[in-house]
Structure 1
Amino acid sequence: MARALGRVQVETAPAKLSQALSYAILPGGARIRPTILLSVAGACGDDCPAMSDAAAAALELIHCASLVHDDLPCFDDADTRRGKPTVHRAYSEPLAVLTGDSLIMLAFEILVRAGRAEDANLRAAQLVLSLSQRSGMPGGICAGQGWESEASIDLRAYHMSKTAALFIASTEMGAISAGHDPEPWRDLGALIGEAFQVADDLRDALLDEEALGKPVGQDDLHGRPNAVATLGVKGARAHLSDILAGAIASIPSCPGEADLAKMVRRQAQAIMPKLPERYQV
């Protein structure tokens, strides 16, 4: 990520915008999407590490851009993200918009450069296609935000685009980076994404702002559908366990299948919120 920023943080660039770019992506969160991407590439016998590294960086940049935009006053109007002020609170709303836009452009630049450097133009083109499809319309994260402006929400389409889209990108792009067909990997990404959405709903309902690192109760505040409201806390946890089991079962046959299953199990343990005492009866 630091190397990626080095391409745009030059002396002739606007200083405040350069600072805002670093602020938006460093030190970062769990980096789960690039972790999944690199794990899938490795499971497929990664034969082009420079390409998979570029894909992982591009994916994380798109994710960070989506968070910057998601926090803006026109959407969630959030004050904190990852335990610190959001970009628009720290640097101003105009710079936050430009930060998100710049990160998106940088993501695609990284993929194009990787294709040129590795003489792997076809893979780079496939990576650009996957990432753009999972970022825009009709089924990417832009569509997820768009659903929040509709009077009636298709819950599955909403969750698939808002949260699952970039997880689908992570498994597809991991396979593409290693020269494999991305289609068999779509279900794994979709299920992991669905699991993370349910886990996020649980964290929003169960944790306080200090533990969560961002404002709590956002689903209720903005009238958004969520698993806890539909299933209750215990029902949502049971649903999460079922989704994760399905994700492991969906892993396509590949040389690193066993190691990939272990990675999914580790992530499952990490995202399962601990029940407060009031629910442990």
Structure 2
Amino acid sequence: MDISARIEAAMRQAIAEGQAGAAPGKLASAFEYALTPGGARIRPTICLNVARACGDDRPALADAAAISIELIHCASLVHDDMPCFDDADIRRGKPALHKAYGQPLALLTGDSLIVAGFEVIARAAHHDCARAVELIRILGQRTGMPYGICAGQGWESEDQIDLSAYHRAKTGALFIAATSMGAVAAGQPAEPWEELGDRIGEAFQVADDLKDALLDADEMGKPAGQDEAHGRPSAVTELGVEGAVQRFRDILSGAIASIPSCPGEADLAQMVRHMAERLIPEPARLPAE
């Protein structure tokens, strides 16, 4: 089974588990609404590619790790779109969840997705208990405080922003989770894989800044111009479009160079390069040097 099929099969199982039993109907519906359609599934794809590069000897555990990250990511989107944060009306080309279901259910859906992320790993723990405990630790670290996506969102409430810490937490945290959890699921230590995730996250942030500045809402499937509207730091504001693209390429080169030695190193490097280049919006693409 290829990686995309593995991700979607595991996601269908997670949705079924979230809707099982006597779950409230509207909340169960909102749970599925937040997860489908799935967008690019970038983070779980990275996670499974790293697991495969490291041998993938516990595929069910790797699948659980990948889906847990996507559940946390989707929870963050639900919360980010709410009026207390970005106040966004659309997400992935359809009404944001709080627009479709109301704010109380949006809050509960985001919370339910976070809990489900940890439950998915717990359900797969029998494949290797020690690895599962480490996966849960990493997921918690990259979700909460002080290094996770909650900390990243928290930086936006500060009078002075530590830009490096802000980007590493808000955007980089789940990419670091993806690379390190993919390795752990396949029996490798997490730490050597953190730099790859950090650099991919940084590249993704630059690409997202370019999209926010250059594309419209229809092209993005979500509101555009949010960095300027909310006064957020942006690579485009700091470096200009060409400077941001060059910064992206420099980060990508560093990411590929940081891949630890492993059986699937060459294939993983090719995947990272291909995936990253697709992130740059068409108006910003320059001939490669």
When normalised by structure 2's length, the TM-score is: 0.94
1:132 aligns with 2:140: yes
Match of 2:228 among 197, 220, 224: 220
Question: 1:246-277 deviations in whole A, cap 9, x for unaligned?
Answer: 10010000000000001001112210112269
Please give the root-mean-square deviation of Cα atoms over the aligned residues, in Å.
1.0
Counterpart of 1:25 in structure 2 is: 35
Q: Percent identity?
A: 64
The one-letter amino acid paired with 2:85 is F
The one-letter amino acid paired with 2:201 is G
Change (3 A) 1:158 1:246: same
Unaligned runs of 5+ in 1: none
Counterpart of 1:99 in structure 2 is: 109
User: More displaced, 57-66 or 4-13?
Assistant: 4-13
Q: What does residue range 265-276 of structure 1 map to in structure 2 within 5 Å?
A: 265-275=273-283
Unaligned runs of 5+ in 2: 1-10
Mapped partners of 1:66, 1:259: distance in 2 = 30
Q: What does residue range 78-157 of structure 1 map to in structure 2 within 5 Å?
A: 78-116=88-126, 118=127, 120-157=128-165
Mapped partners of 1:235, 1:40: distance in 2 = 30
1:256 aligns with 2:276: no
Mapped partners of 2:137, 2:246: distance in 1 = 35
Q: Secondary structure at the match of 1:7?
A: helix
The one-letter amino acid paired with 2:267 is D
Mapped partners of 1:89, 1:229: distance in 2 = 30
Question: 1:198-222 deviations in whole A, cap 9, x for unaligned?
Answer: 0000000000110011001101111
Aligned residues: 275
List, as ranges, runs of 4+ consecutive aligned residues in structure 1 with deviation greater than 4 Å: none
Mapped partners of 1:271, 1:255: distance in 2 = 27
Using the TM superposition, give the Cα deviation of residue 113 of structure 1 relative to its aligned residue in structure 2, in angstroms.
1.2
Using the TM superposition, give the Cα deviation of residue 14 of structure 1 relative to its aligned residue in structure 2, in angstroms.
0.5
Change (3 A) 1:174 1:108: same
Mapped partners of 1:36, 1:202: distance in 2 = 22
Using the TM superposition, give the Cα deviation of residue 10 of structure 1 relative to its aligned residue in structure 2, in angstroms.
2.7
Counterpart of 2:6 in structure 1 is: none
Match of 1:196 among 187, 204, 207: 204
Q: Secondary structure at the match of 1:186?
A: helix
Counterpart of 1:72 in structure 2 is: 82
The one-letter amino acid paired with 1:132 is G
Match of 2:174 among 166, 170, 177: 166
The one-letter amino acid paired with 2:53 is A
